[in-house]
Each structure stands twice: as structure tokens, then as C-alpha cells.
Structure 1
Amino acid sequence: MSSEDRTIEFVSAFEEAGISRNLLDWLNKWLEAQADIPFSIDFIDYEFMEDETPGMAMSLVQSAYIVERFINGAYTADYQFKIIYRTAPDTPEARLSADELLDGLAQWAAGQKPDIGDGLEVQEIEQVTPAALFARMAGGWEDHQIFMRMTYQVHPGK
């Protein structure tokens, strides 16, 4: 069977929601340690940001899906997400700084293995794209984003 004919198997909504919660907690530890972010950004939210207000949000790119199953019931899955940073840069330097901030988050994340839940083990977190402008809105507001991928393994019974 070719990979084009293979059915995509998504992880359960319960598993995905738990991972999202734990990943947000971990990402917010990075946010707390940053002095360069406007003080009005208290936390990285899940799939939501206020209009015309500096903010950050994590959003799933697609549902987490299983990439490999093992005979013992374990499996490896991919969780693809992005981090969005809303800001109102008033200079080209400020616009570049927004991208650098997100790239800095990716550098911080690379090589780490956060706790994402019982029986779940992070294999790798990687930056998939460089940070870039995503959208421009009225009033000079912009959303910058970075795409990330986390590969994790599920160990049943742990």
C-alpha cells in the first residue's frame, strides 16, 4: 500500500486536548522568562487573541495523527502547531523583532522534552518554518507566526 492510499488515523480528542493543555503550560514558562515582550501579554492563549491588543496564541495546524504503530500497542504521533504573535510594529525594526522573538521561542523549545501527560513521551520538538508575517489588519496590527512540530510516543499502560 502506498502512502497515498494509507488512511490517516487521528489520536483521540481527549489525548489531543490533554497535550494542548500541557504544552500551553510549558510554553507559558518561556513567556514568563521573556523581558522583551509587552507586559500586557500575560499568557499564551489557545486559539484566541483579542483584537487590537498585543497577544500570543497557540493553535493546532491540524489534528494530531499517528505516524507509526507498534505491535505492543505503542505508537508515534505528530502534533503540528503554530504560535501567533499579535503586535503593532511602528518600524521595520519592530517588525523584524517580532519574528526574532518567535524564532527565539523555537530555539528555546528545540531539544526540550516537556511533560505532556502520563504515558506520553516527547521524541522531538522542531521548528518547521522561520517566523514570518501572517496577516496585517487595520490600525497597524500584525500577526506573525511560526510553525512547530512535536513528535511524541504513546506507551499504553504507563
Structure 2
Amino acid sequence: MPEEVKKPVTYDVDGYDIVTKALETVLNTFPGLQPTEKIKFSSLKEDEGIAFYPVSGAVVASEKKYITGIVDQLCNYPFYIVYRSAPTTPGIKTEIKEFLDTLGKWLEKQPVQVDGKEYHLESYPTLTEGRVIESITRLTPSYLDTVAENKVEDWVVSMSLKYRKKFKK
């Protein structure tokens, strides 16, 4: 029986930086953020904060080459959002979970309620160099990932951003 040949994983290296900047921008327009809150890239304080972390680079999931010289790539940028806090009551834990679930729903362009008002993400940020965000989806509901000895908790939601890149070779 012949061995299955695995295709090597390819990455859109330049797309990683472009998508990371755009994602940071859209995350920080979430209406559920407090005026003093900011979702940072790969940076959390020891006991608090909200950040997003890419799981890997921007992976080229599929690629089509046309006889016209156009290359059409569908890329996947998996990431997760971490909310770190030292909750003092069970109610705060519920609020953190609801915050992450609402953020995920909003990124999927679904309508969400924040402080009794409905919000809807109309469009994703514009990317450069022939890239267009097609969707952002939740891969998991939010969940408690870790509890440190000092009672600091990391709540997480896993997400995937898919974008298309077209260019002429």
C-alpha cells in the first residue's frame, strides 16, 4: 500500500502582520469594552488584562492557480482571546464568560446586546495586498482554561479568521 504524501504546510508570512494589525483594530472597537480597556496582542499583565494570541501563522488552507496567472489562496489565521482576572465572586466569572461569548458573536457579525443596546459589526477592516477577510468564527464557547496559585483565572475563546488573498504570479 503506497504511503500518503503530506503536502507541506505553507504560510502567508506577510499576511500574518497585516491580519494581526487589522484584528487588533477591530477587537478594540468592540462596544463591550470599558473606556479604559484595550485588547492587546500577545501581552497580559500577571493578574489582569485581555489579549489575543495567534495559534500559528496565517496558514494557506487552499490554493487555486488559473491559466491567467491569478493565484487565489484561502488562508486561515487561528487565534484565541484570553481574559485574565482574579474574580472575587461567582458573578464576575459569569460576566467574563458572557463578555467573551458576546465578543465572539459580535466578531461573527451577529447582533449583540451590550448594556441594553443592540450592536452589529457591519464590516471587517480592509486588508492590503489583495487580501479580504471573509469570516471570523468561534471554534469553542468561552471556557475557564487555567487557575494560577494566586487565584488568577484565564478565560479563553478560540477563534478562526479566514481571508482570501488573490494575486497575479
Calculate the TM-score normalised by the size of structure 1.
Answer: 0.85
Name the structure with the higher helix share.
Answer: 1
The 3 A distance-change label for structure 1 pair 4 and 133 is farther
Aligned to 1:101: 99
Aligned to 2:45: 50
Aligned to 1:11: 12
Shift of 1:140: 2.2
Q: Which segment is superposed worse, 111-120 or 90-99?
A: 111-120
Aligned to 2:26: 26
| Paired letter, 2:166 | H
Q: What is the alpha-carbon distance in structure 2 between the residues aligned to residue 109 and residue 122 of structure 1?
A: 12
Aligned to 1:138, what secondary structure does the other structure show? coil
Confirm whether residue 65 of structure 1 aligns to residue 59 of structure 2: yes
| Paired letter, 1:22 | A
Q: How many residues align?
A: 150
Confirm whether residue 144 of structure 1 aligns to residue 145 of structure 2: no
Q: What is the alpha-carbon distance in structure 2 between the residues aligned to residue 132 and residue 126 of structure 1?
A: 16
Q: Give the share of equivalent positions with the same residue, in percent.
A: 21
Gaps of 5+ in 2: 110-120
Aligned to 2:137: 126
Q: Which runs of 4+ in 1 moved over 4 A?
A: 1-4
Name the structure with the higher strand share.
Answer: 2
**Structure whose alpha-carbon radius of gyration is higher:** 2
Residue correspondence of structure 1 range 105-116 to structure 2 within 5 A: 105-111=103-109, 113-116=123-126
Q: What is the alpha-carbon distance in structure 2 between the residues aligned to residue 86 and residue 78 of structure 1?
A: 26
Aligned to 1:87: 85
The 3 A distance-change label for structure 1 pair 94 and 60 is same
Deviations 1:78-127 (A, max 9, x none): 00000000111112222122111100001101035412512211111100
Give yes or no for contact 1:122–1:152 (8 Å, CA) kept in 2.
yes
Q: Which segment is superposed worse, 115-124 or 99-108?
A: 115-124
Q: Which segment is superposed worse, 114-123 or 97-106?
A: 114-123
Give yes or no for contact 2:32–2:99 (8 Å, CA) kept in 1.
no
The 3 A distance-change label for structure 1 pair 49 and 3 is farther
The 3 A distance-change label for structure 1 pair 3 and 27 is farther
Give yes or no for contact 2:146–2:155 (8 Å, CA) kept in 1.
yes
The 3 A distance-change label for structure 1 pair 4 and 48 is farther
Q: Which segment is superposed worse, 110-119 or 17-26?
A: 110-119
| Paired letter, 2:43 | F
Q: What is the alpha-carbon distance in structure 1 between the residues aligned to residue 23 and residue 131 of structure 2?
A: 12
Calculate the TM-score normalised by the size of structure 2.
Answer: 0.80
Instruction: Calculate the aligned-residue CA RMSD, in Å.
Output: 2.1
